[in-house]
Structure 1
């Protein structure tokens, strides 16, 4: 500002003869000294032109207008006859910016910050701006706890009125916390209070957690947690009197002292509701979570506010307010009043979608429970968002409800989605240890061409299986959400290559299935199908299989009926982190089939957050099958198998449970059984060094399971009826990554109680298949 005034005075002093008495009419304007700034910019900035009269006031206004542009560091006005001469000295332009020494803050981010401050290549250089930026950089580093930071700047003049800026940063080390002390606490021990803090004095594992590096923002969060701890336990008058942060002379150690005043513990005397209760008062009172005689808790008050707001939001009062008014009394009691201001009922003008570059709007819109033109329901808006996430097409779904400009009772509901690869197999190339190299040309999409339809088409071949298939499911066959799907296939399987007994099957068939929604989270399904199975045995097939074929034959045409029920409250269709799902399925061979049998299956899983970053995942898979009518036993090719991915990791695929002895020697092969018991407990945690966790899952797990047989034959080994004492356990670590080629999954696991007949496998992986 001083420089501006000085230049203005110098500019005015340079034309002492242009005084009020020497007023003249400008015939032309001449500009001297321009290099980069165009003459048009000057003419557009000054308040005088040819034909205008110039006086003292005009000179002052012209000089002020030119300085205001920021392009000039000196301005002089003079007169040549009736020509107004404007002589300027331009500020230099920034030719380059070089930043050196920064590690904690990326150069790209620093350059972006400089650009926002007006320092970037090609911009006009102002020394005051550079100094302000230098001070701001130091402040940013100090905020990280780098008190020894030094930021030096150098301005190098260049030809043609340009400058090169050099910023040299010596970041220094982050000051480490040596000691944290809380003074004034009498009710709670200091050690208990310090456990609330994210910041901690240097310890054995501080190199990993970085909790000993001082940060102003982290300290603010710790102090807020401390306040909440007291407020949630009845200390209404608690306050933090002061906080001192001391730094050692070498600026590498930090000492933190927090002085507190605890006050007395308060209990609730009475609870009242006030304001405009648009919802029946009895219903509103049921939402109040605090009662007379309870210890005062700010957490419970906040929870009550949220519940009342949620209820009002469901009735369309989107902009409602609930204010809690505590009134302390001298006897350490407090009266609580919840004042309700519902505001106007709000209606939805439009529901909009952005980010669905592949998926059609119709696919998203049919999941909506919040309708346009209806009053806005918080519950329905959130329910619609959850339904979009459950589709499995999107990494993330966010929703905003901005008010419609110019109105007080309308909002728009805007859903922002981020597409992700959908479908369990999307590649023509895959590999798994159980099946080897998987080759094929196929389409397997859960969101085919963005229509929401599920399509499977193509050929897959491996050393175990060759499969031709075509499947199609329309999840909205009717507008009510009734689904219809059909599937046709031809499949050959060599079970010996899958570490099972020496036989192969040749199967063709198809089915039609319908699904009917019975609630927001539940569906019933039923279907009919048929399959024809031809069995071929090898030269050394298990005796049990030979005996079955001798009784029943080696070619079977079966008509099947399928009935199922499933429920899901999972928050996402792929890599869920919250909620549960369960399903029950019955497969029944109908009268007229060559074989009579049934299979009953149950699967269930639940995700429960443990902490902000850890999630507990529990899963179980149960199955039971048996024959009826004239069929002697469950067909061997319908048996259950266990071991490997999706089962008990750490054991080879399909190798657990009963083993059948080959007819020509004492060797044995897995034969499976009619009873399946499997369970998994996982702790899911963020994958280190991965920014986007939405497509990656890492977990430590404990698997348990086995296959049993209710009718063990004399030629079966390792066979027993359901016996939990025979369950196999494994412990390990696994990762799943959703890639453009399909899921990539691997695990490292150790079988904990394998016996001599079990086949273990520590490392297992697959590409192009979902488990």
Structure 2
């Protein structure tokens, strides 16, 4: 701290600043009962070319899905903290592989790009406005549901839509991972705008709150709600935009995506080496335009574990399903709106461990109410790894 020349009461303070690493390269591997082996990788740069902007490139591969995305965000587009972001993506999904079925579902390829603005309302809440252009291409299976073929006959298989998004989010959680205090919620409205091939909208709400019971235990209340429908010349929410329920993060104790309306039972023939074969297809989950799920969890530490900071154990009650208020065909099952008698529920115990190798989640759930044709699954687990 040398003195300032010619001044008796001032000194110069010299700082040596070393910039921390702002970029990262990561790879991941995971496993879940619904998706099987999941591989992923990403490159992120929090100070792209020294501008202070955020850039990312990522990919994810599993047995049924490939996802690629690239993004760029200026977190301080304005001095007031308004952010400006851009992204582009490509997704290829084969639901025949996801449900381990032979041509009873469909595949869909999607690509597009979007931009969004984020407005900070206060320290805990934010408003986001954006627009995305997206192209979807659908390919039905040999024995896809009559509802899928009916939609394709009416609307086609290829669509380009312009989606406008308005979202609000708030969070007072004490931790980003394994929170025990506070609450978070988000509300999002999406609608296709004029110039799109299809006209539809979706409204989604997600919320959770943690209520302290003691110094080491808390009660978690959570819900997910959604509603979608069409407008204009489009007849009903596109089937591939339907909500699904069941499985981890939804209603545990039931197989992923198996709750809700069922499609029309179908039969079909196909040719192989010049011979005709006959095949029956049972009803499959179709999803719906109404989502209602929620639950209560009591979170507590394990007494024989000294450090529970990376471990969460709970007993839980999950409830919910998906519904449809429009029957695409007279033979579609369970499309008469919300029916509380067809709402699934389960109770169980669960554990989530953020280990050095990644997050591991395991649940044992017992169905209390099983809707018609629902597929149960008592034990569910998933494993993620980052290195």
- Asked if Structure 1 and Structure 2 have the same fold, meaning a TM-score greater than 0.5 normalized by the shorter chain, the answer is yes
Q: Retained in 1: the 8 A contact 2:357–2:385? A: no
- The answer to whether structure 1 residue 670 and structure 2 residue 308 are counterparts is no
Q: Any residues of structure 2 matched to 1:447-466 within 5 Å, and which?
A: 456-466=56-66
* Equivalent position to 1:691, from 286, 306, 311: 306
Partner of 1:594: 197
* Equivalent position to 1:572, from 149, 171, 175: 175
Matches of 1:755 and 1:769, distance apart in 2: 35
- Tell me, what secondary structure is at the counterpart of 2:309? helix
* Equivalent position to 1:467, from 67, 70, 75: 67
Q: Retained in 1: the 8 A contact 2:145–2:264? A: yes
- The answer to whether structure 1 residue 441 and structure 2 residue 41 are counterparts is yes
Q: CA RMSD in A?
A: 2.8
Partner of 1:682: 297
Matches of 2:91 and 2:202, distance apart in 1: 21
Matches of 1:447 and 1:708, distance apart in 2: 45
Q: Deviations over 1:630-661 (max 9, x none)?
A: 10110000000000111001111100001112
Partner of 1:744: 360
Matches of 2:20 and 2:380, distance apart in 1: 34
- Tell me, what secondary structure is at the counterpart of 1:548? helix
Q: Any residues of structure 2 matched to 1:272-671 within 5 Å, and which?
A: 427-443=27-43, 456-499=56-99, 502-664=105-267, 665=280, 667-671=282-286
**Structure with bigger RCO (C-alpha 8 Å, 6+ apart):** 2
Residue segments in structure 1 that go unaligned for 5+ positions in a row: 1-356, 361-422
Q: Retained in 2: the 8 A contact 1:427–1:742? A: no
Matches of 1:446 and 1:613, distance apart in 2: 36
Measured at CA, do residues 606 and 635 of structure 1 come closer, stay the same or move farther in structure 2, by a change above 3 Å?
A: same
Q: Cα offset for 1:705? A: 0.7
Aligned length, in residue pairs? 350
- Tell me, what secondary structure is at the counterpart of 1:550? helix
- Bigger mean CA deviation after superposition, 499-508 or 642-651: 499-508
Q: Any residues of structure 2 matched to 1:678-757 within 5 Å, and which?
A: 678-712=293-327, 713-757=329-373
Q: Cα offset for 1:756? A: 4.8
Q: Deviations over 1:30-88 (max 9, x none)?
A: xxxxxxxxxxxxxxxxxxxxxxxxxxxxxxxxxxxxxxxxxxxxxxxxxxxxxxxxxxx
Q: Retained in 2: the 8 A contact 1:544–1:715? A: no
Residue segments in structure 2 that go unaligned for 5+ positions in a row: 1-18, 268-279
Q: Retained in 2: the 8 A contact 1:610–1:616? A: yes
Measured at CA, do residues 426 and 751 of structure 1 come closer, stay the same or move farther in structure 2, by a change above 3 Å?
A: farther
Matches of 2:320 and 2:310, distance apart in 1: 28
Q: Retained in 1: the 8 A contact 2:88–2:114? A: yes
Q: Cα offset for 1:722? A: 1.4
Q: Deviations over 1:392-435 (max 9, x none)?
A: xxxxxxxxxxxxxxxxxxxxxxxxxxxxxxx9x95431111111
Q: Cα offset for 1:581? A: 1.3
Find the structure with the greater CA-based Rg: 1
Q: Cα offset for 1:755? A: 3.8
TM-score (norm 2): 0.83
More helix as a share of residues: 1
Q: Retained in 2: the 8 A contact 1:498–1:653? A: no
Q: Cα offset for 1:721? A: 0.6
Measured at CA, do residues 684 and 653 of structure 1 come closer, stay the same or move farther in structure 2, by a change above 3 Å?
A: same
More strand as a share of residues: 2
TM-score (norm 1): 0.43
Q: Retained in 2: the 8 A contact 1:563–1:585? A: yes
Q: Retained in 2: the 8 A contact 1:426–1:768? A: no
Q: Retained in 2: the 8 A contact 1:540–1:662? A: no
Q: Deviations over 1:551-582 (max 9, x none)?
A: 00000000010001111111222211111111
Measured at CA, do residues 620 and 439 of structure 1 come closer, stay the same or move farther in structure 2, by a change above 3 Å?
A: same
